[in-house]
Amino acid sequence: MELEDIRREYSKGGLRRKDLRLDPVDQFNLWLQQAIDAKLLDPTAMTVATVDETGQPYQRIVLLKHCDHDGFVFYTNLGSRKAQHIEGNTKVSLHFPWHNLERQVNVLGVAEKLTAAENFKYFTSRPKESQIAAMASRQSHRISARGILEGKYLELKQKFAKGEIPVPSFWGGYRIKPTSIEFWQGGENRLHDRFIYSPNADSKEEGGWDIDRLAP
């Protein structure tokens, strides 16, 4: 089969303005819970897009670890490529692909580092093996063989066999504060439904949002 012949119809039902929550984070959390309830594989997986100093975009998948009205949170090695990009350009895009529900969510926002207290709270809640892996890996750096990584992991596992693992200075989280959030629901005959939430500059109350329908 040729690639141009691969297609399917979207038939899960449309999205109407009357069904939307007034706040995009409330709408997102509703959809996220529905993705979890549907037992989708990795419902918290999201693509994080950043841009380097030349304007070259990069994407990678990470897991969402928290979401509230302050923003979307994920954790990473602070020496990684994504962290280096954010250091030079804090504008970030997040994308959630919930294919089985025929839904997508796209978030544009600005990244800010989490506090040491927030990093500590999450790091110490992780399984010990994950803590050791975070310490062992110099994320995004070139290595000559997998054995080097595995050897470092085993060395640290032995070192901290009976003690607590300190939070590495090169590890932490980011909060993406949204500047817009778009919700996409597949529709029949490619007449998809798209709604974008943008801050309402005329709102007297902080946190007001405008909701606009976008053509598919």
pLDDT at 90: 98
Is 142 among the catalytic positions?
A: no
Q: Report how far residue 194's alpha carbon sits from residue 67's, in angstroms, rounded to the nearest whole number.
A: 22
Residue 80 belongs to some domain of the structure: yes
Residue 57 belongs to some domain of the structure: yes
What is the domain range of residue 84?
9-123+170-214
Q: Which of 16, 17, 190, 213 is catalytic?
A: 190
Does the annotation list 104 as a binding residue?
Answer: yes
Closest Cα partner for 102 from 198, 214, 187, 6? 187
- Lowest pLDDT segment from 27-36, 112-121, 132-141: 132-141
Residue 21 belongs to some domain of the structure: yes
- Look at residue 181 and tell me whether its pLDDT is greater than 80: yes
- Give residue-wise pLDDT tens across range 189-200: 889 999 999 998
Residue 209 belongs to some domain of the structure: yes
More confident residue, 190 or 110: 110
Q: Report how far residue 175's alpha carbon sits from residue 178's, in angstroms, rounded to the nearest whole number.
A: 9
120, 164 contact by CB (below 8 A): no
Residue 133 belongs to some domain of the structure: no
63, 27 contact by CB (below 8 A): no
- Locus of tokens 């504008």: 91
Does the annotation list 138 as a binding residue?
Answer: no
DSSP secondary structure, 132-154, as one string:
HHHHH--TT---S-HHHHHHHHH
Q: Is 157 helix (H, G, I), strand (E, B) or coil?
A: helix
Tally of domains in the chain: 1
160, 171 contact by CB (below 8 A): no
Q: What's the pLDDT band for 206 if we cut at 50, 70, 90?
A: low
Does the annotation list 34 as a binding residue?
Answer: no
| 102: CATH | 2.30.110.10
Q: Average model confidence (pLDDT) for the chain?
A: 93
Residue 164 belongs to some domain of the structure: no
Residue 149 belongs to some domain of the structure: no
pTM (predicted TM-score): 0.90
Does the annotation list 16 as a binding residue?
Answer: no
pLDDT at 12: 82
Residue 104 belongs to some domain of the structure: yes
Does the annotation list 76 as a binding residue?
Answer: yes
Q: What's the pLDDT band for 153 if we cut at 50, 70, 90?
A: confident
User: Bridge partners of 71?
Assistant: 68
- Locus of tokens 């009357």: 18
